[in-house]
Amino acid sequence: MVHVTINGRPLCFERPFSILEALRSLDINVPSLCHDPRVKPYGACRLCVIQVKGAPRPLTACTTLLADGMEIETHPLEIERLRRTMLTLLARNYPEQHVAQWPEKEFHRLLNNYRLTCGNGRDRLPAASDDSHPYIHIDMSRCIDCYRCVRICDEVQGQCVWRLWNRGNSTQIRPDSGATLRESSCVSCGACVDACPTGALEDKSLLSLGSPTRWTRTTCSYCGTGCELYAGTRNDRIVSIKPALDAPVSRGHLCVKGRYAFEFVYARDRVLRPMIRTKGNWKEVTWDEAIQFTAHHFQRMIDRYGPDAIGVLGSARATNEENYLAQKFARVVLGTNNIDCCARVCHAPSAAALKSMLGTGAATNSFADIEKAQAILLCGANATENHPIIGARIKQAALGGAKLVVIDPRQIELAQYASCHLQLRPGTNVPLLNAMASTIIEEGLCDTEFLDRRASGWGQFCKSIAAWTAERAAQICGVNARLIRMAARLYATQKPAICFHGLGTTEHVQGTEGVMCLVNLALLTGNLGKPGTGVNPLRGQNNVQGAAHMGCDPRYLTGSVPIAEANDVWRNLWDVPVPSNPGLNLIEMMQAADRGTLRGLWAIGYDVYLTNPNSQFTANALRKMDCVVVQDMFLNETAREFGTVFLPAACSFEKDGTFMNSERRVQRVRKVIEPPGQAKADWQIICDVAKAMGHESQFCYSSPEEIWNEIRSVWKAGAGISYPRLEKQGLQWPCPSEDHAGTEILHASGPQIALRTVEYQPSCEAPSNQFPFTLVTGRTLYQFNAGTMTMRTENATLLPGDFLHIAPEDARKLNLADQERVRMRSHYAQATLPIRIDPSIEAGSLFATFHTAEVFLNALTTPNADLYTNTPEYKITAVQVEKL
Residues that bind ligand SF4 in the complex, under the rule CB under 6 A? 220, 222-223, 225-227, 250, 254-255, 257-258, 387-389
CB closer to ligand SF4, 225 vs 785: 225
Q: Closest approach of Cβ 220 to ligand SF4, in Å?
A: 3
| Number of residue whose CB is nearest ligand SF4 | 258
* Closest C-alpha to 595, from 568, 624, 574, 569: 624
Q: H/E element holding 113? A: helix 106-113
Shortest distance in whole angstroms from residue 394 CB to ligand SF4: 12
Decide if 687 contacts 693 (C-beta within 8 A): no
Shortest CB 269 distance to ligand SF4, Å: 23
Within a 13 Å sphere around the CA of 150, how many CA atoms are in the beta-carbon half?
A: 14
| CB of 390 vs ligand SF4, minimal distance in Å | 7
Instruction: Tell me how far, at minimum, the Cβ of 239 lies from ligand SF4, in Å.
Output: 18
Provide the sign of the torsion angle of the four alpha carbons 718, 720, 726, 730, taken in this order.
Answer: negative
Coil/strand/helix, residue 179: coil
**Least separation in angstroms between CB 221 and ligand SF4:** 7
- Strand residue runs (E) in 591-637: 600-604, 627-632
Alpha-carbon 121 to chain mean position = 43
Q: What is the DSSP string of 732-792?
A: ESP--STT----SSS-SS-S-EE---------S----SSS-EEEEEE--SS--TT-TTGGG
Q: Residue 645: phi, psi to the nearest 5?
A: -130, 140
Q: Beta strands 281-284 and 275-278: pairing type?
A: antiparallel
> Number of helices (H) and strands (E), helices first, in the chain?
31, 38
CB of 223 to ligand SF4, least distance (A): 3
CA-closest candidate to residue 663, choices 364, 869, 390: 364
State the virtual CA torsion across 210, 216, 217, 220 in degrees, nearest 10.
-60
Of 386 and 774, which has the nearer Cβ to ligand SF4?
386
In the complex with ligand SF4, which residue's Cβ is closer, 394 or 619? 394
- Select 130 or 228, whichever has its Cβ closest to ligand SF4: 228
The amino acid present at 707, given as its one-letter code, is I
| Nearer of residues 390 and 440 to ligand SF4, judged by Cβ | 390
Query: What amino acid is encoded at 296 in this protein?
Result: H
Q: Tell me how far, at minimum, the Cβ of 660 lies from ligand SF4, in Å.
A: 13
Q: Which is nearer to ligand SF4, 413 or 710 (CB)?
A: 413
- In this complex, which beta carbon is closest to ligand SF4, that of residue 383 or of residue 630? 383
| Per-residue CA distances from 877 to 461, 610, 824 (Å) | 32, 17, 11
CB of 847 to ligand SF4, least distance (A): 20
| Residue at 556: amino acid letter | Y
Q: Which is nearer to ligand SF4, 260 or 609 (CB)?
A: 260
User: Is the four-CA dihedral 448, 454, 459, 460 of positive or negative sign?
Assistant: negative
CA distance 77 to 70: 19
Q: Do the Cβ atoms of 443 and 418 come closer than 8 Å?
A: no
Closer by beta carbon to ligand SF4, 136 or else 758 = 136
* C-beta closer to ligand SF4: residue 223 or 325: 223
Closest separation between CB of residue 322 and ligand SF4, Å? 19
Q: Do the Cβ atoms of 739 and 720 come closer than 8 Å?
A: yes
Measured distance between the N- and C-terminal CA atoms of the chain, rounded to whole angstroms: 72
- Smallest distance, Å, CB 157 to ligand SF4? 11
247 or 404: CB nearest ligand SF4: 247
Find the helix or strand (DSSP H, E) in which 646 lies.
strand 645-648
Q: At residue 652, what is the residue type?
A: S
Nearer to ligand SF4 among residue 49 and residue 227 (C-beta): 227
Nearer Cβ to ligand SF4 (389/881): 389
The answer to whether 75 and 55 have CB atoms below 8 angstroms apart is no
Smallest gap from Cβ 729 to ligand SF4, in A, equals 16
Cβ burial, residue 829 (10 Å; 0-12/13-18/19+): middle
| Least distance in angstroms from the C-beta of 262 to ligand SF4 | 11
**Do the beta carbons of residue 774 and residue 877 sit within 8 Å?**
yes
User: What is the spatial distance between Cα 790 and Cα 258, in angstroms, rounded to a whole number?
Assistant: 10
Give the residue from 741, 327, 802 showing the smallest Cα distance to 548. 327
Distance CA 437, CA 464 (A): 11
Residue 846's CB is within 10 A of a number of other CB atoms, namely 23
Q: Tell me if the bond preceding 734 is cis, omega within 30° of 0.
A: yes
The least distance separating ligand SF4 from the CB of residue 840, rounded to whole angstroms, comes to 21
Which lies closer to ligand SF4 via its Cβ, residue 222 or residue 646? 222
Q: Which is nearer to ligand SF4, 64 or 225 (CB)?
A: 225
Phi/psi of residue 2, each to 5°?
-115, 120
Q: Which is nearer to ligand SF4, 290 or 538 (CB)?
A: 538
Query: Which whole-number Å values give the CA distances from 268 to 207, 263, 265, 633, 789, in the listed order?
Result: 22, 10, 9, 11, 12
- Residue 105 or 387: which CB sits closer to ligand SF4? 387
CB of 294 to ligand SF4, least distance (A): 32
| CB of 434 or CB of 783, closer to ligand SF4 | 783
> 7: buried, middle or exposed (CB in 10 Å: 19+, 13-18, 0-12)?
middle
DSSP per-residue codes, 431-454: HHHHHHHHHHHHTT-S-HHHHHHH
Judge contact between 173 and 161, C-beta under 8 A: no
Residues paired with residue 777 on neighbouring β-strands, in sequence order? 848
